[in-house]
Amino acid sequence: MWWLSVRNRCKYIQLFYRSFSYGTTDYLTVHDNAVARYAKKEPRKHTINQLIQFGKQLNEQKLIQSARFVHQELPVRLAHRIIDLRSLPYYVVCGPIKRIYDVYVEAFESVRNFRKIQDLQDEKEFTVLLKHLVDESANVVELLAHGLRLALLRASQREHLDLDSFVDQMLISRIGRRMIAEQHVMLHESRPGFVGVINTDCSPQQCLNIAYQECSRICFRQYGVEVPVQIRGSVSTIPYIPYHLHYILLELLKNAMRAVVERHFTQNNHKNSLLLGKDSMPPIEVLLTEGPKQVTIRISDQGGGISLDILPSIFRYGFSTMNRLREEEQGGEWDRLVQRQSVDGPMAGLGFGLPLSKLYAQYFGGNLQLISMDGYGTDVYVHLDRTGDVLEGVEI
Amino acid sequence: MQKYQSFQCFCSRFQCVWRNLTTVSKASLIVGKPRYIDAQGNDATQPSNLEHVKAFASRKPSPVTLKRLFEFGSDPSPKKLLTAAQLLHRELPCRLARRVIQLASLPYGLSDMPSVKTVKDMYERSFLDMIQFPKPLDEEEELIFTELIRRIRQRHDNVVKLIAKGILELKRYCGKGTEDISIHDFLDRFYMSRIGIRFLISQHIAMHEPREGYVGVINARCRPADVAEDAANVAKSIAYRHYGEAPDIQLLGNISLSFPYIEGHLHHMFFELLKNSLRATIEYHRDSDIFPPVKIIIADGQEDVTVKISDEGGGIPRSAMNKIWTYMFTTVDIPPERVLEATDGGAYKGPDADPIAGLGYGLPLSRLYARYFGGELSVMSMEGYGTDAYLHICKLGDKEESLV
């Protein structure tokens, strides 16, 4: 439907929702059938090791094979989400959600309608298409967050609306689809130690250092202080996707630093930050350990912990302890200073960071657990599977 | 006139004698209740007793909060004690009856195991004792009532071990054990209920023996730091006895924190966790000269208190993590006949001490103690490094007992 104008597209979507049980035009009926057909199939999942094994010695044949796999697989995964979106209660469907729907339908159509991949030329054009789609859907998380907020506002009079499992499913699928697409695209690059987006020798220590440096910069810009971080322990390298780990560590360190600084400010009656030395704040302790099957990273702060009334909500979507975003307003002070838009949304305020980090951790067989000690601090445990033999995906 | 007076004298003397009889013998003197003897010549449940049990079991138990008990029990006058006794007299039969019903309807034939039958008979006997005792109406009767519940508590001292024995018997009989979810569920509910019953009984008895700074068994100014230190000393001495050495235990955080709580429960939990930490540390660092210390951090929150016990004892392997909460998860294989001998080396010796132990019950029971008044116990392990146990306790005392 990408060739239609925005207004016509919206009209069609409105028709979808109003006349759900019968098709309105021939095109839509055909489209409907295609989605239904693809949605009947189950996604084909892989382990990290399988992806590495495949991408190690690349040749023409393998590239074409990979492209064919993505060609078949993406529409299947997209079709499932399109069905999910259609199943939302009608009052949930607002601007941002409609936009996501459009993006997904466009992606679905353009991939499935791409010609059969026979040779390298086909494969090359297909890769260009993939790159375009990845860019197009870069802001979906943000859209999802805004859409969720609007939906909750609308639903507040009606009923208790719990969209958490819907959002979970959307994000899990997104992690997977982006991984598949980017993996194929990056197979064209040959970076030492990398197979696609997977680093066969990913060092959690290094990831930690990079995340720490970035976080320190942000913290300094926002608060004018640096929070000391002590890193202890060492682990061997694991086959992993660095971006995933980076996202998780950045989110957790950001939360820890913010907690420590804000507590310190409160305790010292908001004195001028310049007077607060780095040494006067309790350090964040990061510990790296490993067992035969897992690597565990524990991030412990003394930022005062999370109070009991907030604790049940911290893994829920849309809950943020930053200034609650109003519909018109975009982001808090932290956001503006940071000006950082990643493919997973701005750095703070959306209320997606922690649950999304957990999904990233769980996607390849790990986990994320948080324990709060109200009045003292918080400990977060990130477990990562190091065998590389766990199938992708999260059961919810 | 003289005859009348002497008759009166006789009557009052008879009343004294009557009141001073033990309750059990009283029960046997009650006229009009035929004793039912079954084929083996044992006392058995009379049909009418079963109806009694069912009737009481169908009543809902009334949960109390720590705060209420604390406020009620400060300054215990005889009148207050009487009221408390009357409330207990109403409440205990209901809880005991529910246990009888539960014990009679366990899965896999567990109810037929001899040790489980023994426990069920125990609960039934205690239930009968309670309902056959008339509601105490004055100070004297209240004292006899207190004596009755003290005896009931004593009777039930070995219940945990007997149930453990029963489960081992079941294992030999049909292979089902505590890894089975319905058995585990039963144990959780049964022991939680037992904690409640014993606590209420101990609380009432302790109110007769007031101690400075205590309301029954509730320490008005319970300091986790002090309790932890006591538990630490006991745990360390056991470690010394066993291994000849022990790691240091450091106390950090809010050492001066105090709030009203049941000292015995806290001691039990600390002792179990510290025992585990010490053992793990010693065994993991067997070949080195110095042991990394076990650290206890006490955090004071707005509504709850968190105590974190951290060790560097190598952690718990991932494959074992979901088993640590299973009852009788130990590497020791005890035959049922030896179960009753197991001891934990004698930890808490307070007035409400519970003589259980050494059976791999430490963690799951500690969690029940924590959950009893709305708290929680979580264990996080870092394989290859160590374990952190987090104990959350509600310090406001406004959570109701956890009842099943």
The distance of A297 to chain B (nearest Cα, Å) reads 8
A140-154 mean pLDDT: 87
User: Quick check: B56 pLDDT over 80?
Assistant: yes
DSSP A310: T
Contact A293 B318 (CB under 8 A): yes
Task: Give the number of beta-carbon pairs within 8 Å between A and B.
Answer: 72
B131-149 mean pLDDT: 94
The distance of A201 to chain B (nearest Cα, Å) reads 21
The distance of A357 to chain B (nearest Cα, Å) reads 19
What residues have CB less than 8 Å from A302, skipping those under 6 apart?
A: A260, A263, A282, A376, A377
The upper half-sphere exposure of residue B30, i.e. CA atoms within 13 Å in the direction of its Cβ, equals: 14
B329-337 mean pLDDT: 56
Nearest-by-CA chain A residue for B297 = A376
Question: How much is the ipTM here?
Answer: 0.84
pLDDT at residue B75 in the model: 84
A269-289 mean pLDDT: 75
Report the catalytic residues of B. 268, 272, 275-276
User: Quick check: B5 pLDDT over 70?
Assistant: no
User: Quick check: A271 pLDDT over 90?
Assistant: no
User: Quick check: B7 pLDDT over 70?
Assistant: no
Q: What is Dmax (Cα atoms) for chain B?
A: 92
Residues of chain B neighbouring A308 (CB-CB closer than 8 A): 301-304
Of the partner residues B303, B306, B382, the one whose CB lies closest to the CB of residue A373: B306
CB distance B222 to B266 below 8 Å: yes
Q: Between A344 and A236, whose confidence is greater?
A: A236
Closest of A87, A88, A188, A208 to residue A148, by C-alpha: A88
Contact B304 A379 (CB under 8 A): no
pLDDT at residue B357 in the model: 43
pLDDT at residue A89 in the model: 84
Which H/E stretch holds residue A266? Answer: helix A242-267
C-alpha span between A212 and A210 (Å, rounded): 5
DSSP string over A195-219: ETTEEEEE-HHHHHHHHHHHHHHHH
Contact A376 B378 (CB under 8 A): no
Partners of residue A367 on adjacent β-strands: A383
Nearest-by-CA chain B residue for A299 = B382
Nearest-by-CA chain B residue for A377 = B299
B264-269 mean pLDDT: 95
Confidence at B318, pLDDT banded by 50, 70, 90: confident
Of the partner residues B254, B306, B383, the one whose CB lies closest to the CB of residue A289: B383
**Residue type present at position B177:** G
C-alpha span between B136 and B134 (Å, rounded): 6
pLDDT at residue B43 in the model: 55
pLDDT in tens, A311-350: 999 999 887 776 443 333 344 444 444 444 556 655 566 7
pLDDT at residue A330 in the model: 43
Residues of chain A neighbouring B388 (CB-CB closer than 8 A): 371, 379
Residues of chain A neighbouring B305 (CB-CB closer than 8 A): 375
| Chain A contact for B121 (CB, 8 A cutoff) | no
pLDDT at residue B342 in the model: 56
What residues have CB less than 8 Å from B38, skipping those under 6 apart?
A: B44
pLDDT at residue B74 in the model: 87
| Chain A contact for B376 (CB, 8 A cutoff) | no
A134-155 mean pLDDT: 87
Confidence at A151, pLDDT banded by 50, 70, 90: confident
User: Quick check: B333 pLDDT over 80?
Assistant: no
- Tell which of B385, B388, B391, B396 to mutate to test the A interface (max A CBs under 10 Å): B385
CB distance B165 to B336 below 8 Å: yes
DSSP string over A138-186: TTHHHHHHHHHHHHHHHHTTT-----HHHHHHHHHHHHHHHHHHHHHHH
C-alpha span between B314 and B385 (Å, rounded): 4
pLDDT at residue A339 in the model: 42
Q: What predicted TM-score, i.e. pTM, was given to this entire model?
A: 0.85
